[in-house]
Amino acid sequence: MTRPAHLQPDAVALRMMLDHGELSAAQLLERQLARLDATQPTINGATAILRTQAQQQLAQLDAMPRGPLYGLPCSVKETFGIAGHNVTAGSMRMAPQMHAQDSAVVARLKAAGAIVIARGNVPEFAMTGETTNPRFGRTSNPIDPQRVAGGSSGGDGALVGSGAAVFGLGSDILGSIRIPAAFCGVVGFKPCSTAVDGAGTWPTVTGETANWLGIGPLARSVRDARLVYGVIAEQAPPPPATVAGMRLIGPDGFPFRVEDAAISLALAAAQRALLDAGLRADGSGKAAFADVTGLFFNVPAAILHDSADEWRRLLSSPEAGPFNVWGEALRQLTGRATIDRGLFLWLLQDATLAQAIKPHSVSAARKLAATFEQARARYRALLGNDGVLLLPPLGMLAPRHGAMNRKTLRPGPNGLVTPITFCNYCDLPAISIPAWKYQDRATGLAPAVMLACAPGAEGRLFDAAAVVEAALN
């Protein structure tokens, strides 16, 4: 099957139509707002529709040079600061944070001519793979509303996947761009942690986990992702080039588990397409992947050290009172919950873990940071400037509402999500690509595959991703 009609034309094609006078920016904005109005009641992807602000941006376009994103309506994750709007992270306990100016990355989008039409919904505190929260409710998958859109950039995944937004802007610390992209049938690109200015985004991430966070686009196509990334990145990728002579690493030897056959079929097809395009198989990754399970096991401890105290502070307010995870446990059991269940499961896991590692928290954190830094150096050396890693982003298609957290928020290694998190703690740029040609017949969902590279090789990653996209769609 080809990509759905509402994902065509893509941003690059729309930009050409605008340049050639086949479409006006006003017509495109009207079309996208109408699509947003039509889909919002079903998918609930937007926390706010910025109709008035979008019209104001449209009126200002004629006074600006035509930038690379001229006239393209987009969505932005709710955790990115927009002038005059609160960031709430979907929480009723955390005090809303008003932003007097746009975050750095939103300012870049607007300067390039993009029109922000919506803010994308998130899980509470942007902490799980299922987008639902007490403030804005649940976001549904645009392919099947009975299923999750993913998270934490789930609202933007749903908005792009439904055709309401031409592209979206998300952030990704444990798969938060690529999970929604994979579930909603669109492209999602997570850059490395230093590629895009994070000023004005929530939260301010420090410590080891600052190396895991990437800000990037959700898009209708690989070339769209490349276009948007070229605008928001500190250093734009080079023009497209041949993939001949590049090295293909994986998926053999990497510890993951697939429970949907469509994913395995798409992965095999992607591997064949890349080899047919001139990449050469490099099996040297097999031995290197031996440490992946151990690294994954250490993820909760790193998050605990960097974030737990800040979470408790943000969840405590004069209105809601001090937050205590054990008191919240009782409220969850008695139907009086003050936070989403997914966030509660994260905090409960961290509270349990804290009791085990607290006496050695400083030394343990230092050891963890050193372990992850050594892994980053090792895998960057493995990939070099000519290697790409092929993996599934996830071992499952989008589950039904309520099942995502049960599948992912459990202690210990989890082969369903090891590939997607690997690219975060190793700080590797990674892109998720839908495979509509291998659409699952039972659910209608499109599987996805993922490519990753070393920082600095993003151009070659996009080149390889374009080959995969052409073969799988």
Q: Show which of 311, 344, 367 is a domain's final residue.
A: 367
Taking only the tens place, the pLDDT of each residue in 91-101 is 999 999 999 99
344 and 393 part of one domain: no
Q: Is the pLDDT of residue 166 over 90?
A: yes
407-414: long-range contacts, CB 8 A cutoff, minimum separation 24: 408/128, 408/129, 409/128, 409/342, 409/345, 409/346, 409/349, 411/300, 411/349, 412/297, 413/255, 413/293, 413/296, 413/297, 414/296
82 and 224 part of one domain: yes
Q: Is the pLDDT of residue 359 over 50?
A: no
How far apart (Å, rounded) are the C-alpha atoms in residues 393 and 277? 22
103 and 157 part of one domain: yes
Count structural domains, the chain: 2
Q: Is the pLDDT of residue 360 over 60?
A: no
Q: Is the pLDDT of residue 381 over 70?
A: yes
Number of helices (H), then strands (E), in the chain: 17, 15
Between 281 and 287, whose confidence is greater? 281
Share of the chain above pLDDT 90, in %: 84
Mean of pLDDT over the chain? 94
106 and 233 part of one domain: yes
Question: What mean pLDDT comes out for the span 22-47?
Answer: 98
Question: What mean pLDDT comes out for the span 143-166?
Answer: 98
In a domain, 151, yes or no: yes
276 and 346 part of one domain: no
Taking only the tens place, the pLDDT of each residue in 188-214 is 999 999 999 999 999 999 999 999 999
212 and 150 part of one domain: yes
- Name the pLDDT band for 306 (thresholds 50, 70, 90): confident
- Judge contact between 119 and 50, C-beta under 8 A: yes
Q: What is the pLDDT of residue 253?
A: 93
178 and 224 part of one domain: yes
In a domain, 218, yes or no: yes
339 and 467 part of one domain: no
| Other Cβ atoms within 10 Å of 290 Cβ, number | 10
In a domain, 374, yes or no: no
In a domain, 34, yes or no: yes
319 and 206 part of one domain: no
275 and 320 part of one domain: no
Lowest mean pLDDT among 172-181, 347-356, 407-416: 347-356
The residue segments making up the domain with residue 320 are 294-367
pTM over 0.85? The answer is yes
299 and 410 part of one domain: no
Q: What is the pLDDT of residue 391?
A: 98
Taking only the tens place, the pLDDT of each residue in 107-154 is 999 999 999 999 999 999 999 999 999 999 999 999 999 999 999 999
Q: Could you give phi then psi for residue 240, rounded to 5 degrees?
A: -55, 145
- Name the pLDDT band for 345 (thresholds 50, 70, 90): confident
In a domain, 425, yes or no: yes
Lowest mean pLDDT among 83-92, 144-153, 354-363: 354-363
Q: Is the pLDDT of residue 436 over 50?
A: yes
- Name the pLDDT band for 1 (thresholds 50, 70, 90): low
Q: Is the pLDDT of residue 376 over 90?
A: yes
260 and 329 part of one domain: no
How far apart (Å, rounded) are the C-alpha atoms in residues 42 and 245? 46
